[in-house]
Chains A and B, each alone.
Chain A
Amino acid sequence: MGKTLAEKIFDSHLRDEPFPGTKVLNIDRVLCHEITTPVAIADLVWRDKDRVFDRTRIKAVIDHVTPAKDSKTATQAKMLRDWARRHDIPDFFDIGHNGVCHAIFPEKGFIHPGHTVIMGDSHTCTHGAFGAFAAGVGTTDLEVGILKGVCAFREPATIRVNLDGVLPTGVFAKDVILYVISRLGVNGATDKVIEFRGTVVDQMSMEARMTLCNMAIEAGGTSGVCMPDQVTVDYLWPFIENDYAGKEAALAEFSQWCSDEDAHYVEVLNIDVSTLEPQVTYGYKPDCVKPVSEMAGTPVDQVYIGTCTNGRIEDLRQAAEVLRGRQVAPTVRGIVSPATPKIFNDALAEGIIQVFMDAGFCVTNPTCGACLGMSNGVLAEGEVCASTSNRNFNGRMGKGGMVHLMSPATAAATAITGVITDAGTL
C-alpha cells in the first residue's frame, strides 16, 4: 500500500508515539503572531522556561492589529516584539515590514515541501499549498512548539478532491473552494487532510493553491495540501537556488513527498469545474454557498478585498481588472488591504493601487484588518459586507454584521453596483 503526502511527512517527522494513534512530530516551522503568542510567552516566563527550541525555525509577525489601535493591542505587539528581540529571532516582521502571516511567510520562502508547520491560527492550513503538513493549533500547542519543537496529532486520514475540467473565465480558486466546502460541509473533513488534485490544480499558481488550502479548515480539515511540482519549484527557486544543482534536482527531491498512486483515501470527491459559476455564501456558515446568480441584487454596505485568503497580487489584479475605469457605488465603502508590503509594492508598480484609488477604494496597510472585526473596517449592527475573506460567522466582522464570502472579482463587481454582482454581467 502506498502512502499519502501527509503519511510520508508523519513518517519522516515522527518523534514519539506515546500511545497508539498519537503521533508526536518534530516541527520544522513554528509561526507566531501577536494575538495567540503572548499568552504562551507569558506562561513560559511564569514557568521559568522562557526559551526557544530553535530560533531559526521560529518565525514571527505582528499582523492582526497593526499599527496598534489601543493600549491592549500595543501591549500584545510589545510582548511579541520584546520576546523576538530577547531570543534574537532573525525572522521577525514588524511595522513597515509586516503583513498577513499566511501571505508573508510563504512569500519569504520559509515553507518547503515536506515541512511540518504549526501556528496559533486556524488558517495555517494555507501552507499545505507547498506540499507541507500545516495545521492551526491553540496557544498550548504553540507554547510546546516554541519550547520543544514538537506537536501531537492523530494521524489524519486524507480526502482526495479531484478538480478536473477547465475553469470558465471569471471563475477562480475562491469559487472552487467555496463549492468544495459546500459539498463537504463544515465538519466534513474534521481530523482529515484535504488533498487537492487534478488538472485544474496542476495549472494553478501558488497563489491560487494557497487560496484553496486556506479554506480547508472551513470544512474542518486539519490541513489542505497540494502536490509539489514545477510550479512549487519555480516559486521557491530564488530561496533555494544555492541548495540544488538545478531546478530538476529540486523537483526530484520535492516529488518524493507526492502521494503514491496506490495511496489510500477515506473519500474521493470528483468535481468537474467546467460548468462552475462564481460562488458566494449566504448564511452564517461557510458551507452555505450558492452561485452568485442566485444571490444577485443583494445590497451590501461594505466591500472588503484582502486577507490570507485573497490579499495576494493575483487577487488584486483580478479585482483591478473589474474596477478599471469604474466607480464604487455611492452606497458602498470599498476597502482593500494588500496582504504584504511586497504585494503592496508590486501593486503600486503595476498601477493597481491607482485603479483602486481612482475607483474610490480606501487602501489600507497590510493587516488582517476587517476579516475578524479586530481593527479597521468593523461593521455596524445590521450592515452587510461582501468580503474576500474566509469566515462568515454571525458577528465575525462586528456584532450584528453579516458577511458574504466571494472572489475578488465578484467583490469588485459588487463594489461597483452596490449589490451582489457576477463580474461577467457588468
Chain B
Amino acid sequence: MQKEFGGRAIVLDRSDINTDEIIPAKYLTEVTKEALKPYLLEDLKLEGFDSNGDTLAHARVVIARENFGCGSSREHAPWVFEVNGIHTIIAESYARIFRQNMFNCGMLAIELPKAAIDALIAQASTGQLHVAVDLEGQKLKATAGDQRLSYDFAISSFDKALVEAGGWVEFADARY
C-alpha cells in the first residue's frame, strides 16, 4: 500500500549527514522498527537543531543537501524516519544504499538541483514550510505563508513502481 507523502518540512542544512547521525549504531540492537522511534537524529550536531524539539516531532518532510544518508547500509535509517512519520526526503543527492533503502521501503528520496534546495531553504526561513507531493504529476508544491513555489522532480519508473507497490518485497514477490 502506498504511503502518504508531504507535510510540514524541517531543514537540515548540511551535506554528508550520515547514518550514524540519523540513528547511532548502539540502537541497532533493536529488532523492531518501532523501538527506534525516540532516537531519530540523536547524534546530529547542527546549529539550531534539537533532536528532541517540536520542529522535528511535527515534521513529515526533511530537506537536506548533498550525499544524504552516507555511511552504513543500515535500513534503520529510513525506518527511524518512517516510524516518526517522515516518508519524504528532499535533497541535492543521496548515498546509493540509503536512497535504495528509502524506495525499497516505499518511501520517497527526491533529488532536486542545488538552486531549488537553496530556494526551499530560503523559503523555510520565512515561516513554517509545507510541502505537497504530486507523485503522478512529479511536482512538489512548497508553501510558507503567502509564498508558494513549485518544482518538477524526476523519478525513475522503477522507483515509482516501488513506491506504488509499497516497497521492493511486494514488487519482487509478485514478479520473481
- The residues of A with any CB-CB pair to B shorter than 8 Å are 15-16, 18-22, 24, 35-36, 38-39, 42-43, 47, 49, 64-65, 70, 72-73, 75-76, 79, 119-122, 124, 136-141, 143-144, 147-148, 150, 152, 186-187, 190-191, 220, 222, 285, 372-374, 391, 393-396, 399
Contact = CB atoms under 8 A, between A and B. Distances in A.
A36 B75 contact: yes
Contact of B175 (A16, A76, A285): A16
Interface residues of B, number: 44
A122 B72 contact: yes
Given A138-B75, A187-B95, A396-B20, 6 more contacts: A16-B175, A24-B176, A39-B33, A140-B169, A148-B173, A395-B20
A216 to B, nearest CB: 11
Nearest to B24: A395
B78 A39 contact: no
A162 B91 CA distance: 32
18 contacts: A22-B156, A36-B73, A39-B32, A47-B173, A122-B73, A137-B100, A138-B97, A138-B100, A138-B101, A140-B101, A140-B105, A147-B172, A152-B158, A186-B16, A187-B66, A190-B95, A391-B72, A399-B24
Interface of B: 16, 18, 20-21, 24-26, 28-33, 43, 45, 66-67, 70-75, 78, 93-97, 100-101, 104-105, 156-158, 161, 167-169, 172-173, 175-176
Contacts of A75: 31
B96 A140 contact: no
Contacts of B21: 393-395
A22 B94 CA distance: 18
Given A138-B74, A148-B172, A187 B16 contact: yes
Contacts of A47: 169, 173
B28 A393 contact: no
A21 B155 CA distance: 12
B91 to A, nearest CB: 11
A35 B96 CA distance: 20
B46 to A, nearest CB: 11
Contacts of B168: 140-141, 144, 152
Nearest to A189: B96
A191 B158 contact: no
A22 B168 CA distance: 13
Contacts of B173: 47, 49, 144, 147-148
A134 to B, nearest CB: 12
B100 A141 contact: yes
A424 B167 CA distance: 53
Contact of A35 (B16, B18, B28, B169): B28
A194 to B, nearest CB: 13
A187 B25 contact: no
A239 to B, nearest CB: 27
